[in-house]
Amino acid sequence: MPVVRVNGAALGYDSYGEGEPVVLVNGTGAPGRIWRTHQVPALNAAGYRVITLDNRGIPPSDPCPEGITLDDMAADVAGLIEHLDAGPCRVVGFSLGAVIVQELLLARPDLVRAAVLLATCGRADALLTAMSAADLDLCDSGIKLPSRLAAYLQAVQNLSPRTLNDEDKLQDWLTVFEMSLVDLTAVRGQLRLQLIPDRLPSYRGIRVPCQVIGFQDDLVVRPHLAREVARSIPGSSYTEIPGCGHFGYLERPDAVNSAMLEFFAGRQR
């Protein structure tokens, strides 16, 4: 994996294929390689070059220190786009990654041609605030959950009833969760960023074409929070994918990829 120094930080990234670039920005604690199974092949097949990155806190990128801000994370993405001479490009963000993209759209709209925002929000409501506080408490406690318990909690929190009730699929997911547990201490700075202040009024200043995609059974970022973002960004569209939870882009990748590619195709210029 190449590593480049931008915005005062070392960032790891990967590039796949040729064509107009699409940058994928992931959520809390997840590496860029999580896009490789579903989104990278679909975008490559549609003629796009795909760039993924490891946000600060995910090796080989630098740690995510306590003082890091959403502005810093957006500047990291901007710095990578500029380093690769990829702008203006299409950008996709998931969860915290989508919030980072929203800040990028405000700070550096010149670098973005169009944006897709998956499972996003513009504020931390009471439930998101409680979740973030609980994550920080667990991180600071020094307690390490048994892998099977952590996997179970991940499944209940992030998957839809459709998947939870399919025993074969569920077992596959549980195995993946057990094998990919996140060291919370390494991403504590990212955990703090989940306490998002109300940014919805600022989003009225976004002029980049945006598609917001919510997931019907999402218990982390409930769909009404994504709809708030769509209502706040002038001219944006909203699509809700049924039968998937917070990890909808991995649970129902064909539906998500189809919506994303259709939006991008309508924004050719």
83 is catalytic: no
Which position among 54, 76, 160, 246 bears the catalytic label? Answer: 246
95 is catalytic: yes
Which helix or strand (DSSP H or E) is residue 14 part of?
A: strand 9-16
Which position among 95, 132, 160, 232 bears the catalytic label? Answer: 95
Q: What is the dihedral of CA 169, 174, 176, 177, to 10 degrees?
A: 140
Provide the CB-side half-sphere exposure for 38 (13 A, CA): 15
Do strands 9-16 and 48-54 pair parallel, antiparallel, or not at all (unpaired)?
Answer: antiparallel
CB 58 within 8 A of CB 81: no
38 is catalytic: no
Do strands 3-6 and 9-16 pair parallel, antiparallel, or not at all (unpaired)?
Answer: antiparallel
Which position among 217, 218, 232, 236 bears the catalytic label? Answer: 218
> If you ran DSSP here, which 8-state letter would residue 187 be given?
G
Q: Which residues are catalytic?
A: 95, 218, 246
